Amino acid sequence: MKAAVAAAAAVLAGGVSASNHRHAHQALFEKRGHNASEVCVPGCTTIWKTITGEAGLWTPPPPPPATATAWPTGPAVVPTPIPQVCPTPGTYTFPATTIVVTETTTVCAASTTVVPSGTWTLGGVTTVVETATTVVCPYATTKTENGVVTSVLETTTYVCPSAGTYTIAPHTTTVTAATETVVVPVVSTYCPGTWTAPAVVTVVETATVIYCPFASSEVPVPATTWAPAPAPVPAAPTWEAPPKPAPTEDSKPKPTPPTSTPQLGGAGGKWAMTYTPYAHDSQCKSAEEVLSDVKKIAAAGFTTLRVYSTDCGTLPKVGAAARECGLSLIIGVFIGEVGCDNGSPDVAQQVGAIKAWAQWDLVKLVVVANEAIFNGFCSVSQLRDLIVHVKSELGGAGYGGPYTTTDVVSAWVGNDVSSICSVIDVVATNAHAYFNAGTAPSEAGKFVAGQLAIVEKVCNLPGYIMETGWPTAGNCNGAACPGVSEQATAISSIKAELGDKVVFFSYTDDPWKKPGSCNCEQHWGCGQLFSA
C-alpha cells in the first residue's frame, strides 16, 4: 500500500503514533487517563487504556454532566470514520460526506494499530476502587460478522469484591504473522456541530480498507483514542543561580543564569547536530580533525552541537572548536550497562571531567542519560536521583543552566515519570520515523512532531528532540525504506516541520558500530545534506 494509505490511516487517529526507535522497532505502550465522574458509579476511578501504533493521542473533551448516566445502546448517527473497502489494487475516489450532530453523543469507534507476532491485550477499562463495590461501566469491544470486524459500545456491571484495581473487558488478540494491523475499539464523544469527511482519492497496491475521518467546522475535532492525563508537576521552573566559588586567578567564565523558562532551539530549520569525535576505525579524532568537522557544521548554519559523554577528550576538543566557530554545546552524562549508581566510577569520572572543563558559557543544556529507562539501565527513581546528583555537582561548580534527560516516547508514557518531570527544566525525546513501519520518508516530519507533542504533555514542559534522522542504507521497514534519496526526503520533511527544535542525527556515518538487526546502524550520517 502506498504512503497515501498510511497517511489516511494515521489521520483516522489524529496524526501521531506510538514511539518506535532505532533500538526498539515495536515500542508499544499503555496510556492512562482518569475521569471518574464520566463513566463509573459509585466512587471509582476509571483509567482508559489504549495501545496505539499508527494511532494518535488527544486530550478528551469536557465530560458530560454528572446526571448523564444513560449510555446509547442502539446505532447513532455520528461522524465516526467511514470504512471504505478497496477490494482490488487500483485508484479509488470516495465522495465527501457531511453529518450534523445536534447533541453530544458518545459511541464506540475503531482505531488500528500495528503489532508484532504474539498475544496482545488491547483496550479495556481499568477501575480502581477503595472499598468493595459494584460498578457499571461502558466499554469498547469488537464483534466479527461475516469476516467484518465492527467496534461496539457495551455496558457491563462488575462486582469488585474488595479494594484494588480491576480490568474490565480487555480485548485480546493473537498475531501469528511478523506484524499485523489489528482493530482497537475505543470510546469517542462527539460534540454538536457540522462534520465533514472530505473527498479522498487514494492508490492501493493490495486489497484494504481505508478510513475517511470527519473534521468539524464548528467545534474542536474529536480523535478516536484517549490520551493520558498530564502527570502532576510543579509550576513552571524558574532559575536560581547556585553560589559561585570565590574568584581565583584561573577562574573559568561563568554564564549569566537564566531567569525564566530556558530558551533553546534555532532558526531556519537548523538548530543542532549530534557529534562524536570518533574516526571510522573507532579511534579518537585529533583536535585538528575535530576543528575541521566543526567548521563545516558551523558553515552549514547550525548553532549547537550535541555531545554524549566525556571520553576521547570530547569536551576539550569539541569545546575549543565550538568556541572558535561561535557554536554552543549540549553536553551529556552517558549511562550504559554499568547503570545509574551515583557513586559509580563511570558517573564520577564523567561528572569530574565536566567540572574540570567548566566552560559553562558554551553550555546551553545538560542531558543526564540517553534512553536509560528504555534500555533498562535505570529505574525511574534511580534516574531521578542521578539527575539531582548531577545538578548538585555541576551547580556547585558554577553551571546555572537547564537540565533534562532524553528517552523514547514509550519510556515517557509507559512509566510514572512525575518525579523526573519535577527535576528537569525541559522534556526531551529521541524520535526516528524510520522505525515506524507506516511512515514513508515524506511523512517523517509529521511523525516526529507527533512524538514531541506526546512527551510535552507528559511533563507539561517545553519539549525538544535530541535525536532524529533517517538511514541511507539497511532493510526496508514497511513503508520506511532507507536510501540516499529517501534520507534527503525525510530530513527535508523534518526540517520543514520542526527543524528549529530538533538535533539531527548524525554528522557522519559510524562504520565502527555494529549494523544491528536493521543493518542500518552505521548509516545515519546526514551532514552532507546541509553541505556540512
Cα–Cα distance, 332 to 350 (Å, whole number)? 9
Decide if 31 contacts 227 (C-beta within 8 A). yes
Whole-number Å distance between alpha carbons of 259 and 266: 20
Instruction: Point out the catalytic residue in the list 371, 443, 456, 486.
Output: 371
Residue 58 · residue 229 · CB < 8 Å: no
- Cβ atoms of 120 and 52 closer than 8 Å: no
Q: What Å distances lie between residue 95 and 85, 90, 186, CA to CA?
A: 13, 17, 26
Among candidates 56, 71, 59, 100, which has minimal Cα distance to 211?
A: 56
103 part of the active site:
no
3-state secondary structure of 129: strand
Which residue in the list 443, 456, 467, 486 is annotated as catalytic?
467
Distance CA 128, CA 126 (A): 7
Q: Which residues contact 62 (CB under 8 A, 6 or more apart)?
A: none
Which cell numbers in the block locate residue 113?
Answer: 494499530
3-state secondary structure labels for all residues of 251-315: CCCCCCCCCCCCCCCCECCECEEECCCECCCCCECCHHHHHHHHHHHHHCCCCEEECCCCHHHHH
| Coil, helix or strand at residue 172 | strand
Question: Which residue shows C-alpha cell 516530519?
Answer: 445
Question: Distance between CA 275 and CA 531 in Å, rounded?
Answer: 15
Distance CA 30, CA 114 (A): 14
Q: Could you confirm whether 467 is annotated as catalytic?
A: yes
Contacts of 495 (CB under 8 A, 6+ apart): 269, 270, 445
Among residues 67, 157, 78, 73, the alpha carbon closest in space to that of 110 is found at: 78
The DSSP string of 188-222 is EEE-SEEEEE--EEEEESSSEEEEE--EESSSPPP
Residue whose cell numbers read 562524536? 276
C-alpha cell, 349:
569520572
Residue 263 β-bridge partners = none
What is the three-class DSSP state of 394?
A: helix
CA 507 – CA 518 distance, rounded (Å): 20
Q: Which three cell numbers stand for residue 525?
A: 550520517
Are the beta carbons of 19 and 408 closer than 8 angstroms?
A: yes
Residue for grid cell 484494588 = 164
Q: Known catalytic residues? A: 371, 467
